[in-house]
Structure 1
Amino acid sequence: MTTMSPQLTSLAYAPEARTGNRLAIMSVAAGILQFFLLFVPCWLVTIPLALNAVHQTEDHRDGGSRHLAIAGLSLAVTHFAVYVGMVIWLIAGN
């Protein structure tokens, strides 16, 4: 009878490390950050970043990364709408 040492068995059954899509994580981080920098048009960077993350996660193997990419895109579009609304309000507010 052969026995395996505990060190070897833990390596054989170690769970696979899940890593999310880095673009999706960056798009959510930039989407949250841009609401603190309201007068800076951060959506110019965040929208293309989030769109690339959505296209990279289309195969549905990244787990929750697609949800993060969509959240980053929605934050960027919301910031764009707020930015456009503020510009219209400043122009029309005589």
Structure 2
Amino acid sequence: MTPPRVTAYRIADGDLRRVLPAREGCAFRPERAVHHGRALLVARPCPHAARTAQLIALDDLGRITPHRRPLGNQVRDEGGRLRSEHPIPEKVVARPR
């Protein structure tokens, strides 16, 4: 996370997953980011935006917004629920190239 953008990489192989740029005239404040459950809350102060627009929430799929649909590349279990890309993310080791 840097002031101009938030970048996410896949743990398994370092593949770039997404880039979220800050709006024009705004900047992310990495030192004010907070983990809450599986979400990361990030301050994004903007001089002319409403207070609610100055805080965004991110998770494994990207920005959390109402009625968001998954990208379609997540693994689902037998019940149709989304599973984590890796069951134990701390134990993931990239395959040799």
TM-score, reference length from structure 2? 0.24
| Larger-gyration structure (1/2) | 1
The higher relative CO (CA closer than 8 Å, separation ≥ 6) is in 1
Higher share in helix: 1
